[in-house]
Copies of this chain bind each other. A is one copy, B any other.
Amino acid sequence: MTTTTTTAATPVAPSRGALRPLGLGEIEITGGFWAERQAVNATRTLAHIEHWLEREGWIGNFDAAAAGTLGARTGREFSDSEVYKLLEAMAWEIGRSNDADLDRRYTALVHRVSLAQEPDGYLNTAFGRPGQGDRYSDLEWGHELYCYGHLFQAAVARLRTRPSADDGLVDVARRAADHVVAVFGPDGRVAVCGHAEIEPALAELGRATGESRYVEQAALFVARRGTGTLGDIEYGRGYYQDDVPVREATVLRGHAVRANYLAAGAVDVAVETDDSELLTALTTQWENTVARRTYITGGQGSHHLDESFGEDFVLPPDRAYSETCAGVGSIMFSWRLLLAQGLSRYADLIERTLYNVVATSPSHDGTSFYYTNTLHQRRPGTVPATDVAVPRASSSMRAPWFAVSCCPPNVARTLASLASYVATTDDDGLQLHQYAPARIRTVLPNGRPIAVDVETGYPHDGVVRVTVVDSDDEPWTLRMRVPSWAAGATLRTPDGVRPVPVGSVSVRRTFAAGDVVELMLPVGPRLSVADPRIDAVRGCVAVESGPLVLAVESVDLGESGVSADVADVRLDAAVPLHVVDGRVVATLGLERSTDEPWPYALHEAATSGATAEVPLVEYHDWANRGPSTMRVWIPLV
């Protein structure tokens, strides 16, 4: 097998950087936590999304546009993008599993989309027709360039997984991209889109097609952002990051999805244009955002009003917005920095976000989703009807579809391409960033073949075993990430067992087929407290286990006899946690809550003295047993 940077079947393929990503042809997740979710995604979620896109008429909008009969259009102004996200997810899934039926459905859908494109390349069902707004007349809210972005990402997915397929989406994307360059290029209109997304997409389309004009256009959009070309709306220009130029900003702010998509695209531009100043600014933004504006789950965004980041340390668990798509965007941003710089911290955040945001959104059967991801549910949620789209944040249980339904296809495209985020190579060897049972058959950039298999029960078991299947007889380096929480990790190599520091561990040797390297990560339960400036969780602890955030869920309390209300529980940090039948069990005390006429007084807490052994739930798995209350942060006794 040979591969080059430009043909790897991977979402992000920079032309330079510390690490080279593996394509879906080089790595396969063969079992475990993520393989299960990829299977559900393939067998249930993709069809579910396709069904709802048809049912809501969002695909039909393309048919009507092609037929010239588009009257009362259905869906929000950006609903085209959900069709593109589905196409991207389908393309990755076809690349992953070679599903012939899915390929037929994909091709048919591409055909319907392509018929709606206008002769000059413009493609959007919400603008430009009688009764609609003019093209690009509402860049603040119209989302036309955002929609192109998802179209381009879908085309990149197809181009990289089926480079010889002649099914048209790549041509549609190129025509649209040429149109964008013509309208918004160096001599065109000085403007950006209210919702960033075209920036990383144009960069990637440029990389995938070799068309440097697309990368240059991405650079132009990044450079214009923050110069006030968009209107000053009620939320302020910070909402769409048009308040401060990207290279001058110090932290992510405004709408959390927009902010992450923009940052991801800006990394692409910084890498392709070798702009170290811009890359340094983005690195600072990432650091400050992680240190001050990120939930323990990896979730981002605490304002419901504008789906935005709050100020530093404003991270209330019960008002967490933590939009699923912001998690996807955060992974996009971190992954690009990881490829550029090679630092484990980026993979740490990706892991945390995958397990506690991306995995939290879909239900077990992959047909209902969280749009937002609260860390504290105070009242049992309501089960949404299965046949009605709900407002984006109105339901407290997972819902089948939303009026704004970005999250389901965003999860789908992430899961379908997930293998590509597991490992990378450089001339010196192989780097493992995420731990899952996997089969890796790759060739280093300098042409040396490497084949390894990974076996692990992670995240529930901390042993990660790497077996070399094939290697030449020159030394190379196997680098394995040691998560920041994994103090006390050890490594077993053919030379013996040794302790390893957090960050990463490298084993450089002349490997032979059959050689085994085992990383032992301490995934037992641990307590975490928050920076005291995160006022909303003062006096509380969170229980974590490996990369998993745990929670108390009321369905487990009911059986304890202690209380059915998570408002009542207290944890004594001096009492050890233990594991029973694979579940972490906490000894929780009970404080009886009674109403006072006025709830502010000098009063003593009425601790009952009763305790109970309560199994905790993995946060991603909550609300799968019916309506319940839940909390991640548990008050200390």
Contact = CB atoms under 8 A, between A and B. Distances in A.
Contact of A540 (B378, B403, B538, B595): B538
A112 B70 CA distance: 48
Q: How many copies does the complex hold?
A: 2
Contact of A602 (B313, B527, B596): B527
A52 to B, nearest CB: 19
Interface stretch (A193-201, A271-279, A304-312, A577-585): A304-312
A598 B538 contact: no
Given A311-B379, A394-B236, A538-B635, A533 B602 contact: no
A529 B313 CA distance: 22
A394 B234 contact: yes
Contacts of A86: none
A599 B531 contact: yes
A332 interface: no
A528 B601 contact: yes
A104 interface: no
B318 A599 contact: no
Interface in A584-637: 591, 593, 595-603, 605, 633, 635
A600 B528 contact: yes
A524 to B, nearest CB: 14
A113 interface: no
Contacts of A635: 532, 535, 538
Contacts of A536: 316, 535-536
Interface stretch (A132-140, A288-296, A359-367): A288-296
A345 B598 CA distance: 10
Interface in A363-386: 376, 378-379
A247 interface: no
Given A378-B314, A394-B236, A595-B291, A600 B530 contact: yes
B605 A532 contact: yes
Nearest to A542: B600
A391 interface: yes
A534 interface: yes
Nearest to A315: B599
A603 B287 CA distance: 19
Nearest to A603: B529
Contacts of A416: none
Q: Give the residue among A319, A403, A542, A597 with the most B Cβ atoms within 10 A.
A: A319
Q: Which of A313, A528, A531 has the most CB of B within 10 A?
A: A531
A20 interface: no
A291 B379 CA distance: 17
A162 interface: no
A288 B605 CA distance: 20
A479 interface: no
Contact of A538 (B314, B538, B603): B538
Most buried by B among A294, A391, A538: A538
Contacts of A305: 304-305
A308 to B, nearest CB: 10
A600 B378 contact: no
Interface centre among A394, A591, A600 (most CB of B within 10 A): A600
A303 interface: yes
Nearest to A312: B378
A535 B633 CA distance: 10
Nearest to A541: B602
A540 B532 CA distance: 12
Contact of A593 (B294, B376, B379, B531): B531
Nearest to A352: B598
Given A234-B391, A394-B234, A296 B602 contact: no
Interface in A411-452: none
B314 A534 contact: no
Contacts of A595: 288, 291-292, 531
Contact of A378 (B304, B311, B394): B311
Contacts of A317: 535
A529 to B, nearest CB: 6
B378 A601 contact: no
A534 B567 CA distance: 9
Contacts of A403: 234
Interface string A558-580: 00000000010000000000000
Interface in A514-536: 526-536
Given A535-B536, A635-B538, A529 B600 contact: yes
B236 A318 contact: no
Contact of A290 (B296, B311, B345, B598): B598
Contacts of A311: 318, 378-379
A591 B291 contact: no
Contact of A316 (B290, B316, B526): B316
12 contacts: A287-B597, A288-B595, A290-B597, A311-B378, A312-B378, A314-B378, A528-B602, A531-B596, A531-B600, A532-B567, A535-B540, A535-B633
Given A531-B600, A534-B599, 5 more contacts: A234-B391, A291-B599, A311-B318, A314-B318, A528-B600
Which 4 interchain pairs have the tightest Cβ spacing?
A531-B599, A539-B539, A304-B305, A538-B539
